[in-house]
Structure 1
Amino acid sequence: MAGTRRTRMSPDERRQQLVALGVAALADRPLEAVTVEDLAAQAGVSPGLVHYYFGSRQGLHSAIVRTARDAMLHATAPRPELPPRERLRDTLARFVEFVRDHDATFYSLVRGAASGDEEVRATVQHARDVLAGHLRDAFEEIGVARTPLLEVALHAWISFAEHALVEAAADPAVAPDELTDFLERSAIGVLDALRPRPRP
């Protein structure tokens, strides 16, 4: 009996397959537990071929995190046709939906900020900068001036929102709409905190 013929992939297709397998693996294990050997076995290739495509385990992890980051940013990209307040809420609602659907992947991204791999940390920080930029754009459209303190507040809020999303993703008692409302109110609360208070 003839053996099963393996589908031949181009280098780009094979690389994409390996990265996709790595992203899928984040559903049940942290990034540091994703190994070259496991992905090679799943793809039916040698570990040496994985090293050829990515250079090292760190290179593989960086490619996985970049792909997961890009998927998150694509899924939560603001809709420019919406007014700023409505756009903010829509973006937050889709962020909540993404985390509910891909909670382990999101958690791996958040954990990546503390990674010992500088490239992984830079990839996660880029995502945070993009998200802070979306919020900044909406605020500027409603008349908030760009200041150094605004930048501090935006990045602080991103860290706050990440923690809230991780906590809520594991708690089915928190409804998506309820979480979206909470995040929206907290984001608007940043504006209130930026307004100077009259001194007595």
Structure 2
Amino acid sequence: MNNSQQRGSTERSQVRRAELIAIGRKLFADTSYDALSMDDIARQAGVAKGLIYYYFTSKRGYYLAIIEQSVAELVARARSDTDLPPAERVHRTIDGYLRYAEHHQAAYRTIVTGGVGFDAQVLAIHHAVREELLGAIADGAYGRRDMPPLARLALVGWLSSVEGVTLDWLDHFQPDRDAVRELLARTLRSALCVIQEFEPGWPAPHSL
């Protein structure tokens, strides 16, 4: 096989893998990991079960690939819009977070609650998402990502509350997403004011 044929084969393989991930995202959108067997997945996806094993090795590998792809979009959204005013960037980050949780409920619950049992890979994904969101919020609030330890702890506490609020919201969908976004934005402002009390060199921005 020459180089051109190899590139074509690799590209087709990447496209096929991406197609399977897109199918899996729909299947797992509102369905837990344990609720779908590989036979169920293959049947609903309209593919041979062996094809999924070929690309992802196992059901767990398939599910992790789906979660990682979904989370990559959330992280990309948090990194985007750097030319917007800080307040709008923060609101967009919070809104994107809630939209992701709403449209990928099963994956979101898996990430926040630690996955299937104690899953080190899911915990690593959760850690990466947290770090990116903390960085995005700090960048929007202060224009920089490095923070004093106490400021970081305050934002970690806020983000933990965000996860709890979001999980409960997914159970009831009351109030609507706009109200939840505003609630989270206001509690963020409160956290930033507390940071200012302990770290005067890190004043809470007036625009948030």
Higher helix residue share: 2
Q: How does 1:33-182 map to 2 (within 5 A)?
A: 33-112=35-114, 115-141=117-143, 146-182=147-183
1:127-165 CA-to-partner distances (Å, cap 9, x unmatched) read 111111101112323x99721122222222222111212
CA contact (8 A) 1:61 1:120 kept: no
CA contact (8 A) 2:105 2:170 kept: yes
| TM-score, normalisation: structure 2 | 0.76
Determine helix, strand or coil for the equivalent of 1:10: helix
CA contact (8 A) 1:40 1:47 kept: yes
Residue matched to 1:24:
26
Deviation at 1:98, TM superposition (A): 3.6
RMSD: 2.7
Long gaps (5+) in structure 1:
1-8
| TM-score, normalisation: structure 1 | 0.79
Determine helix, strand or coil for the equivalent of 1:90: helix
CA 1:45–1:181 in structure 2 vs 1: closer, same or farther (change >3 Å)?
A: closer
**Partner Cα distance (2:34, 2:73) in 1:** 20
**Partner Cα distance (1:10, 1:114) in 2:** 32
Deviation at 1:45, TM superposition (A): 3.1
Long gaps (5+) in structure 2:
1-10, 200-208
**Partner Cα distance (2:145, 2:24) in 1:** 41
CA 1:40–1:144 in structure 2 vs 1: closer, same or farther (change >3 Å)?
A: closer
